[in-house]
Amino acid sequence: MNDVAPVICLVDDDASIRKSVTRLLESSGFKVDAFSEPEAFLGHLTAHSVPLAVLDIWMDKMTGMVLLAHLCARSPKTRVIFITGREDHAAETTVMQAGAFAFFVKPFDQNGFLAAVRNAFGRASAEKEELSRCIGANNSRAS
């Protein structure tokens, strides 16, 4: 990782989950912007780049699946990891088919979760490097 800690947005309506996941991520070198309501996160998204979002799938005001649809429309490059308090294979299938990066049932394996977070950032970095190479190759051909 570079000098700037990667930022992760966490959206979960359960305060204890926000606190524990934030601690886990921050202890692993990430910066966390935590939101208790999906609407507040969407407001944040209008002014900030969000490389990775960790979303609860079952929230009162808006489900994570609806939030994912908003996120795909507004920030299609944002990677999404879902967390949920109950096993729901239909929801898991739906969000994974819609482009979610990973899906975890609480309480989840911390090492597996952190590996998914790191992989999400690694894949995003690899895609940026590939895009830069493609742009550079196209520019050198144009000369």
Instruction: For the chain, give every domain's residue range.
Output: 7-142
Judge contact between 99 and 77, C-beta under 8 A.
Answer: no
Predicted model pTM: 0.81
Output the pLDDT for position 4: 62
Output the pLDDT for position 16: 95
Judge contact between 140 and 72, C-beta under 8 A.
Answer: no
Q: How far is CA 117 from the centre of its chain?
A: 8
| The two structure tokens encoding residue 113 | 């979760």
Convert the pLDDT of each residue in 23-80 to its tens digit.
999 999 999 999 999 999 999 999 998 999 999 999 988 999 899 999 888 998 899 9
CATH topology of domain 7-142: Rossmann fold (3.40.50)
**Residue 140: burial class (beta carbons within 10 Å; 0-12, 13-18, 19+):** exposed
Output the pLDDT for position 101: 92
